[in-house]
Amino acid sequence: MTSITNSQPPLVKRLLFFVKTLKIILKYQSNHIKNLIKLIISSFFIKNCLNIRQINVLLPFITIYKEYSKIKKLQ
Protein backbone atom coordinates (compact mmCIF):
# COMPACT_ATOMS: atom_id res chain seq x y z
CA MET A 1 0.00 0.00 0.00
CA THR A 2 1.17 3.52 -0.66
CA SER A 3 2.27 5.72 2.18
CA ILE A 4 0.55 8.89 3.25
CA THR A 5 2.41 11.99 2.05
CA ASN A 6 1.76 15.71 2.20
CA SER A 7 1.51 15.99 -1.58
CA GLN A 8 -1.68 13.91 -1.72
CA PRO A 9 -5.14 15.51 -1.66
CA PRO A 10 -6.83 15.54 1.76
CA LEU A 11 -9.47 13.01 0.73
CA VAL A 12 -6.82 10.54 -0.43
CA LYS A 13 -4.92 10.99 2.85
CA ARG A 14 -8.10 10.32 4.82
CA LEU A 15 -8.90 7.29 2.72
CA LEU A 16 -5.43 5.78 3.15
CA PHE A 17 -5.56 6.41 6.89
CA PHE A 18 -9.02 4.84 7.03
CA VAL A 19 -7.86 1.73 5.17
CA LYS A 20 -4.77 1.29 7.35
CA THR A 21 -6.80 1.75 10.53
CA LEU A 22 -9.45 -0.68 9.35
CA LYS A 23 -6.81 -3.31 8.52
CA ILE A 24 -5.32 -3.03 12.00
CA ILE A 25 -8.71 -3.27 13.68
CA LEU A 26 -9.81 -6.23 11.57
CA LYS A 27 -6.58 -8.08 12.19
CA TYR A 28 -7.29 -8.43 15.91
CA GLN A 29 -11.06 -8.86 16.10
CA SER A 30 -13.49 -11.78 15.84
CA ASN A 31 -15.68 -12.16 12.75
CA HIS A 32 -18.84 -10.77 14.36
CA ILE A 33 -17.04 -7.70 15.63
CA LYS A 34 -15.30 -7.30 12.26
CA ASN A 35 -18.63 -7.19 10.46
CA LEU A 36 -20.06 -4.70 12.92
CA ILE A 37 -17.00 -2.45 12.68
CA LYS A 38 -17.07 -2.62 8.87
CA LEU A 39 -20.72 -1.64 8.82
CA ILE A 40 -20.31 1.28 11.22
CA ILE A 41 -17.12 2.67 9.70
CA SER A 42 -18.14 2.26 6.08
CA SER A 43 -21.56 3.85 6.57
CA PHE A 44 -20.05 6.79 8.48
CA PHE A 45 -17.18 7.20 6.01
CA ILE A 46 -19.33 7.00 2.88
CA LYS A 47 -21.85 9.45 4.35
CA ASN A 48 -19.07 11.97 5.00
CA CYS A 49 -17.55 11.49 1.56
CA LEU A 50 -20.90 12.05 -0.11
CA ASN A 51 -21.12 15.37 1.70
CA ILE A 52 -17.72 16.34 0.29
CA ARG A 53 -18.96 15.80 -3.30
CA GLN A 54 -15.79 14.02 -4.33
CA ILE A 55 -17.35 10.61 -4.78
CA ASN A 56 -15.58 10.17 -8.13
CA VAL A 57 -12.29 9.91 -6.26
CA LEU A 58 -13.74 7.15 -4.09
CA LEU A 59 -15.29 4.98 -6.80
CA PRO A 60 -12.07 3.09 -7.63
CA PHE A 61 -11.48 2.37 -3.94
CA ILE A 62 -15.05 1.17 -3.44
CA THR A 63 -14.72 -1.11 -6.47
CA ILE A 64 -11.40 -2.49 -5.20
CA TYR A 65 -12.91 -3.12 -1.76
CA LYS A 66 -15.89 -4.97 -3.27
CA GLU A 67 -13.62 -7.16 -5.39
CA TYR A 68 -11.35 -7.83 -2.41
CA SER A 69 -14.40 -8.85 -0.34
CA LYS A 70 -15.51 -11.28 -3.05
CA ILE A 71 -12.05 -12.86 -3.19
CA LYS A 72 -11.88 -13.21 0.60
CA LYS A 73 -15.28 -14.95 0.63
CA LEU A 74 -14.07 -17.47 -1.95
CA GLN A 75 -10.98 -18.41 0.06
Beta carbons of 37 and 23 less than 8 angstroms apart: no
* CA trace torsion 29, 35, 37, 40 (10° rounding): 180
Q: In this predicted model, what pLDDT tens digit does every residue of 22-38 receive, in sequence order?
A: 777 667 666 766 676 67
pTM of the shown model:
0.34
| Predicted local distance difference test score (pLDDT) of residue 47 | 64
Using the predicted structure, report yes or no on whether residue 19 has a pLDDT greater than 70: yes
